[in-house]
Amino acid sequence: MARRITQPVSVGDVVVGGNAPISVQSMTKTDTRDIKATVNQIKQLEEAGCEIVRCAVPDLESAVALKSIKTQSTIPVIADIHFHHELALESLRSGVDCLRLNPGNIRDKGKVKLIVKEAKERQVPIRIGVNFGSLPPVDGIGKTGGVSRHTDGVNLLEKGSSVEGTYTAVDHMIATGLWEIGILESLDFDLIKISLKAFDIETTVASYRGMAELVPYPLHLGITEAGTAESGSIRSAIGLGILLYEGIGDTIRVSLSDEPVKEVDTGFEILKAMELRKESPILVACPSCGRADVDVRKLANEVDDLLKKIKTPIKVAVMGCEVNGPGEAKDADVGIAAGSGRAVIFRKGKKSKIVDEKDMLKTLMDEIHKVERELADPN
């Protein structure tokens, strides 16, 4: 699939956009003022492969804490800013690699300009983070004050794809983003990333599609408040998958009501399924049925756990019967077709050996490690 080529920006040492790989990021769920807990969670994210991390900055103490957090993180740190422009300025002084600003709740043009001038001096990118849950009032983009969200008209807007002649939630999200883009561009600032997130998949997809046609900047994809690990992963995979298949998207965050490491794991699985990232193994496993003579589910889960320790793009197949087993196993770098009391191990499409059931997991992993070594040293 052809990717939309965007104007790249550097978030710390991670390039977002252009021809750079689509990066996976997450957000800490600790109190940012608790430096030790936040750093510990960032370390867990680093080990999971997270490439960019964002921290909430609800108060001045959190903004100041970012200075220490930043020095202890090996991945770029983004400050997540809402409501108060002073928190963005203090976060910049703490040395963050990027800011996330919400144009729905920082609507004073003068204050946005103060942030941009400081970010420009430090060459720190800004993500314009539009979110359906915090959009400005209808007819209130860029206007301070306003009415309660209960009476601002946003929730009366039609969701989903744009409707000709009707001002929809999609139109409002895009217009909100364009308002802040205009401020940044007026100050000759183009270190810009953009996100347009909603819980509703159709609204999210249509918003990103619309913005992608209007600006050259990289897009940060996400479905906001997607849900729990199971439901949120499915919703995110569908929404992000549609956009990624169309070539839209330069970095992703899967928002889950779960540990942030789960967000990273899910993000990489989405990219692997789309063949957009190939740095780790892919597991093909049959769902099992009444034909299976072995516990395929147990075997597949054991293999999956062991593969998490491998950082080589190997395709592994775990199959449980003669229907699809040999074909899928032959298509993989390493495959196993398990039967009654024994299993056939395949290497690069050819039978490698036949082993007893009790030895099949160890033998399979031995073959996987052989392929791993061969790929690391092809000579």
Contacts 24+ apart (CB under 8 A), 348-357: 357/294
Split at pLDDT 50, 70, 90, the class of 190 is very high
For the ranges 168-182, 283-297, 300-314, the lowest mean pLDDT is seen at 283-297
Residue with token string 């408040």: 225
Tell me the CATH number of domain 9-273, given options 1.10.1660.10, 3.30.450.20, 3.20.20.20, 3.40.1260.10.
3.20.20.20
Contacts of residue 373, Cβ cutoff 8 Å, sequence gap at least 6: none
Over residues 64-82, the mean pLDDT reads 98
Q: What is the pLDDT of residue 288?
A: 82
Looking at the predicted structure, is the pLDDT value of residue 289 above 90? no
Q: Distance between CA atoms of 219 and 239, rounded to whole angstroms?
A: 14
Q: Distance between CA atoms of 223 and 37, rounded to whole angstroms?
A: 26
Class of domain 282-376: alpha beta
Q: Distance between CA atoms of 42 and 69, rounded to whole angstroms?
A: 9
Torsions phi, psi for 281 (to 5 deg):
-65, 155
The CATH 3.20.20.20 domain(s) of the chain lie at: 9-273
Over residues 74-92, the mean pLDDT reads 97
Rounded alpha-carbon distances, angstroms, from residue 10 to 43, 109, 118, 140, 204: 21, 25, 17, 32, 25
Q: Is the distance from CB of 301 to CB of 334 less than 8 angstroms? A: no
The CATH 3.30.413.10 domain(s) of the chain lie at: 282-376
Nearest to 52 by CA among 69, 27, 80, 32: 27
Q: What is the pLDDT of residue 165?
A: 81
**pLDDT tens profile 302-330:** 999 999 888 889 999 998 876 666 676 67
Nearest to 95 by CA among 134, 123, 116, 129: 123
* Between 34 and 378, residue with greater pLDDT: 34
In the chain, % of residues over pLDDT 70: 95
